Structure 1
Amino acid sequence: MDYDLLETFVLLCENRNLTKTAELLYKTQPTITSRIKTLEEKLGYSLIVRGKGKKNVEITRKGGEFLIIAQKFLNLYEEIEVVQEKLSKTLLVSSISSLGSPIVANVCKKMAEDEEVNISIFTYQTIEAYELIAKKELDVAFVSEARNVNGVMCEPVFMQDYYVIRPCKNPEGIKKICTEDLDVNYEIYQRWSDDFKMWHDYKFASKKPRIEVDSCALLKQFLTNETYWSIIQRSNLLLLNQEMSLQIYNLIDSPPARICYMLTNYYPDRGNIYLLKKMKKLLHQYAFDNDLQLTPN
């Protein structure tokens, strides 16, 4: 039985609307109608009832019975793909820049070591990533903002806290500090997320930092003496702390933890199902190994 026909029928049963189904599958409505008609002709009975000029449909009794079989077929297809894990050889990955290094880079490196797969890694902003995932022009993307976009599955995978850092020749472990003890005139500011900006504006009375950067590579260039400081997420702290001597502080009145989301298409290419599951597993392992907080599934 043709996978596309079954997929279309199951999705139509879930939302009972031809237009919605067409949008989710990025097909025209006539294509959806044609697929259902083809499936009905193969089976020899009607699956749906549609009123003239109406977009909503009703499932026939036999259609409801066949739905159970169709769902089993789709699950079987997925199981076959897991067994045939070597089928897919290419994975297109995107990440916002603040998650790309070291998190996504390390996960992709481990993936390449474990699997015979070609990986292409791109840097896209959040809006672009959602659009490309919906169009199946990317297989997986990592962002820090959850959005409701047709055809895109958005899963929280881990959270990470923030720390204050200063250059220091002789650091003394992790200390505690309050925002009241920080002079915004000497801050090297990086806008990690909208939630972080709201917190920062509130805590520092909307005072604008004199220096703002958009990457850790730039941040490092400005942390030249102990006067300057910055607030940084844990994953980037781990990387910077290997490259320079830093005094690290826990913020007493810290901003909300930053969540990393994994984006995939609701109906990914069947050959990539195994690799996407493997990437999620590796991401969880990386988060666990580096004391990042796993989000509940």
Structure 2
Amino acid sequence: MRLCDIETFLAIVENRSFTQAATALFVSQSTISHRLKKLEEELGFTLVVRQRGLRNVELTQKGEDFVPLARQWQRLWHNTHCIKLASPESFLSVAAPDSVNTHLLFPLYEKLATMDHPLNLQVQTLPSSEIYTALNNGEIDMGFVFQQLRYKNILCKPIFYEEIHVICKSRSPYGSGPIHPSKLDPQNEILLPWSSDFQRWHDTWWNPAINPLVYVDNVSLLLSFMSSPSSTHYWAACPECVLHYFKDNSNIEVHEFSVSPPSRVCYMLEHRNPKHGRIHSIEVIKKHLEPFLAKYNFTR
């Protein structure tokens, strides 16, 4: 299989349109159709429903099943390319959820990539469950997650605990001081499920059958909603690693919950038998990680 064919299929999945996929990849629509047909011929099954009148592209069941495999194939290709270009002793593939990569560890990644003897980092943003699978399959070297799962070949160590607070607009109707969960209308909530423990706590206070204003799957979307001019009544639960982005924002208030949700625990994952060429890089990132986290007021 060719990388361009896999990327074409994933562009169709993401855009649900041949035209928009062509725009995203800077190729013609006929090229998109040709690549998709070539991939289907190689796989031996149809990926996309071809039917006149469909406004958006629909995948066949086999197409839906192939999506995670295509993403895994794409990651493996990029990993292989990075290995080809990098010194084995300096290469390291790391994965973490969005809130960790973007809103906590970015300064550490930047330091590791620009120091005198830099690491050649490959940083991926994945949900916690996929990080376990990627590490177990040897697709990454380290991971940071908010979920503890049992894998025979994975070492899981808690590295910090963080509290979860409430953020809302400064002129919101919620008053000052700690806020009781019962005072918050779930239909005004921007909900990002920070951890399984948080979600269980959340469901004890708000009926899961009542939809929030919107579900989001990344911090950037949450920040955009909270920055909207119409967000007077909006609120969201937010962990400490993200709160520092609001410290200089006079339009956002941070409150404690008067009935606190469980702390969010971040775990560092390593393979029990790491690749020999990655051991040095793993030790380098661990050496820099502890003093980096010490700058924050996390519970250790």
**TM-score interval (norm. to shorter):** 0.5 to 0.7
Q: Which protein shows a greater Rg?
A: 1
Q: Secondary structure at the match of 2:157?
A: strand
- 1:195 corresponds to which letter in structure 2? D
Task: Kindly indicate whether the alpha-carbon contact (under 8 Å) linking 1:158 and 1:284 is maintained by their aligned counterparts in 2.
Answer: no
**For 1:229-278, what per-residue CA distance to the aligned partner results, in whole angstroms no more than 9, with x for missing partners?**
11111111112445663111011111101111111111112332232223
Partner of 1:162: 164
Alignment of 1:10-29 (within 5 A): none
Q: Secondary structure at the match of 2:138?
A: coil
**For 1:137-187, what per-residue CA distance to the aligned partner results, in whole angstroms no more than 9, with x for missing partners?**
2111111111111211111111111010112279xxx83221122122211
Task: Kindly indicate whether the alpha-carbon contact (under 8 Å) linking 1:158 and 1:261 is maintained by their aligned counterparts in 2.
Answer: yes
Partner of 2:34: none
| In structure 2, C-alpha distance between the alignment counterparts of 1:89 and 1:208, rounded to whole Å | 46
Partner of 1:122: 124
**How many residues end up aligned between the 2 structures?**
206
Partner of 2:212: 209
Alignment of 1:124-163 (within 5 A): 124-163=126-165
| In structure 2, C-alpha distance between the alignment counterparts of 1:163 and 1:106, rounded to whole Å | 23
Partner of 2:192: 190
- 2:185 corresponds to which letter in structure 1? D
Instruction: Quickly say closer, same or farther: Cα 1:221–1:288, change in 2 above 3 A.
Output: same
Instruction: Quickly say closer, same or farther: Cα 1:188–1:136, change in 2 above 3 A.
Output: same
| In structure 1, C-alpha distance between the alignment counterparts of 2:283 and 2:171, rounded to whole Å | 43
| In structure 2, C-alpha distance between the alignment counterparts of 1:166 and 1:252, rounded to whole Å | 15
| In structure 2, C-alpha distance between the alignment counterparts of 1:145 and 1:93, rounded to whole Å | 16
Partner of 2:242: 236
Partner of 2:180: 178
Q: Taking every aligned residue pair, what percent have the same amino acid on both sides?
A: 26
Partner of 1:257: 263
- 1:199 corresponds to which letter in structure 2? W
Task: Kindly indicate whether the alpha-carbon contact (under 8 Å) linking 1:287 and 1:293 is maintained by their aligned counterparts in 2.
Answer: no
| In structure 2, C-alpha distance between the alignment counterparts of 1:244 and 1:137, rounded to whole Å | 43
| In structure 2, C-alpha distance between the alignment counterparts of 1:247 and 1:125, rounded to whole Å | 28
Task: Kindly indicate whether the alpha-carbon contact (under 8 Å) linking 1:144 and 1:258 is maintained by their aligned counterparts in 2.
Answer: yes
The root-mean-square deviation of aligned C-alpha atoms, in Å, is: 2.2
**For 1:96-120, what per-residue CA distance to the aligned partner results, in whole angstroms no more than 9, with x for missing partners?**
2222112232221122233322111
Q: Secondary structure at the match of 1:166?
A: strand
**For 1:172-224, what per-residue CA distance to the aligned partner results, in whole angstroms no more than 9, with x for missing partners?**
xx832211221222111111111111101101233331321111111122222
- 2:217 corresponds to which letter in structure 1? D
If the length of structure 1 is used for normalisation, what is the TM-score?
A: 0.64
The farther-off stretch of 154-163 and 240-249 is 240-249
Give the structure with the higher percent strand: 1
Structure 1 unaligned blocks of 5 or more: 1-85
| In structure 2, C-alpha distance between the alignment counterparts of 1:167 and 1:243, rounded to whole Å | 10
Task: Kindly indicate whether the alpha-carbon contact (under 8 Å) linking 2:98 and 2:219 is maintained by their aligned counterparts in 1.
Answer: no
1:285 deviates by: 2.3
| In structure 2, C-alpha distance between the alignment counterparts of 1:205 and 1:133, rounded to whole Å | 35
Partner of 1:68: none
Q: Secondary structure at the match of 2:149?
A: coil
**For 1:63-98, what per-residue CA distance to the aligned partner results, in whole angstroms no more than 9, with x for missing partners?**
xxxxxxxxxxxxxxxxxxxxxxx9711111111222
- 2:220 corresponds to which letter in structure 1? A
1:282 deviates by: 2.7
| In structure 2, C-alpha distance between the alignment counterparts of 1:147 and 1:233, rounded to whole Å | 21
Partner of 2:93: 92
- 2:137 corresponds to which letter in structure 1? K
- 2:196 corresponds to which letter in structure 1? D
Task: Kindly indicate whether the alpha-carbon contact (under 8 Å) linking 1:95 and 1:104 is maintained by their aligned counterparts in 2.
Answer: no
| In structure 2, C-alpha distance between the alignment counterparts of 1:163 and 1:283, rounded to whole Å | 25
If the length of structure 2 is used for normalisation, what is the TM-score?
A: 0.63
Q: Secondary structure at the match of 1:219?
A: helix
Partner of 1:221: 224
Structure 2 unaligned blocks of 5 or more: 1-86
- 1:210 corresponds to which letter in structure 2? L
| In structure 2, C-alpha distance between the alignment counterparts of 1:281 and 1:164, rounded to whole Å | 33
